[in-house]
């Protein structure tokens, strides 16, 4: 059957065919094999004049023993705990989309999602570039933006000299801060527009309504987020507030 490995009996038939001066095609038909299979077998074992079935069998066995064996299964490391890779990739895609909707650029959102899904909460730039299949320059631009927003921090890799990027403990809180800041900028701009157009105009009235709504919503969100964060983590010694980072 084409595709199976040559057996000792196959090699004996090849040797017999060569002794009868048959062509590779004729020998192959006897074996129900491609002529190329017979040609390769003869060429790697001395050629037509020196081919010997037993020597070819021994050589094949020796080559098989010298092939590198697949590594033995290893226990899953901490980084590989959790769902299977396909489920993880699907989740990272969903989380990236959600982060983009908060205002983060897509690559920065992918980096954040990648770190959230990492068991250690950290990766090197090279690991992220390989995981996200982007260039090192793209990762560098994204991490600078995220560092600037205090969403990640940089440290040394214990296993080498590379920088390692860590998801900040308050990344969730600071993501809210970024979203609130964007809303407040919109609110402030809308209110300036209301003054420009005048309250008596339809455009001015529309802008004033939107601006006041977003302004109040942002204030409520800031107070609520800070309260729930302190209730959950009990971190009252940290002076970080959404108010100072949303202005």
Query: For residue range 147-195, what is the model confidence (pLDDT) as tens digits?
Result: 877 788 887 766 556 678 887 666 666 666 666 777 788 888 989 998 9
Strand order in the sheet with 122-124: 122-124, 163-167, 152-156
> What pLDDT does 77 receive?
41
72 in any annotated domain: no
- Domain contains 1: no
On whether both 60 and 129 belong to a single domain, the answer is: no
Domain that holds residue 181: 172-245
User: Are 34 and 22 part of one and the same domain?
Assistant: yes
For 51-80, the three-class secondary structure string (H helix, E strand, C coil) is: CCHHHHHHHHHHHHHHCCCCCCCCCCCHHH
Q: How many domains does the chain have?
A: 3
Residue 3 lies in a domain: no
Calpha distance 1→185 (Å, rounded): 73
Q: How many alpha carbons lie under 13 Å from residue 175 in its C-beta half-sphere?
A: 21
pLDDT at residue 26, as a whole number:
92
Share of the chain above pLDDT 90, in %: 18
Local confidence band at 76 (pLDDT 50, 70, 90 cut-offs): very low
CB 96 within 8 A of CB 111: no
Q: Distances from the Cα of 38 to the Cαs of 10, 35, 55, 64, 94, in angstroms? A: 10, 5, 16, 19, 53
Tokens 């809308």 locate to 190
- Residue 88 is assigned to a structural domain of this protein: yes
For the cut 90, the answer to whether the pLDDT of residue 112 exceeds it is: no
In whole angstroms, give the CA distance from residue 48 to residue 115.
61
Predicted pLDDT of residue 75: 40
Strand 163-167 vs strand 152-156: parallel, antiparallel, or unpaired? antiparallel
Judged against a pLDDT cut of 60, whether residue 113 lies above it is answered with yes
Question: 28: which 2 tokens?
Answer: 């192959």
Q: In which residue are the tokens 């074992």 written?
A: 45
Q: Quote the mean pLDDT of the chain.
A: 78
Most confident of 73-87, 106-120, 197-211, 226-240: 197-211
Spatial contact of 166 and 203, defined as CB atoms under 8 Å apart = no
- 235's CB contacts (< 8 A; 6+ apart) are 229
Predicted local confidence at residue 18, as pLDDT: 94
């Amino acid at each position: 059957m084409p595709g199976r490995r040559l057996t000792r009996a196959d090699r004996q038939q090849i040797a017999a065919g060569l002794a009868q001066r048959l062509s590779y095609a004729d020998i192959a038909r006897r074996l129900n094999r491609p002529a190329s299979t017979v040609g390769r077998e003869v060429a790697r074992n001395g050629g037509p004049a020196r081919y010997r079935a037993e020597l070819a069998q021994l050589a094949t066995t020796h080559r098989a023993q010298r092939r590198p064996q697949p590594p033995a299964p290893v226990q899953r490391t901490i980084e590989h705990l959790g769902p299977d890779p396909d489920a993880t990739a699907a989740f990272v895609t969903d989380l990236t989309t959600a982060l983009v909707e908060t205002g983060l650029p897509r690559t920065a959102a992918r980096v954040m999602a990648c770190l959230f899904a990492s068991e250690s909460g950290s990766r090197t730039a090279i690991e992220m570039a390989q995981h996200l299949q982007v260039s090192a320059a793209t990762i560098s631009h994204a991490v600078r933006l995220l560092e600037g927003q205090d969403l990640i921090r940089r440290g040394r890799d214990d296993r080498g000299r590379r920088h390692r990027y860590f998801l900040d403990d308050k990344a969730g809180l600071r993501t809210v801060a970024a979203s609130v800041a964007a809303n407040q900028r919109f609110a402030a701009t809308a209110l300036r527009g209301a003054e420009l157009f005048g309250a008596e105009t339809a455009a001015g009235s529309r802008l004033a309504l939107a601006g006041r709504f977003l302004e109040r919503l942002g204030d409520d969100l800031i107070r609520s987020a800070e309260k729930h964060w302190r209730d959950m983590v009990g971190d009252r010694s940290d002076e970080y507030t959404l108010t100072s980072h949303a202005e």
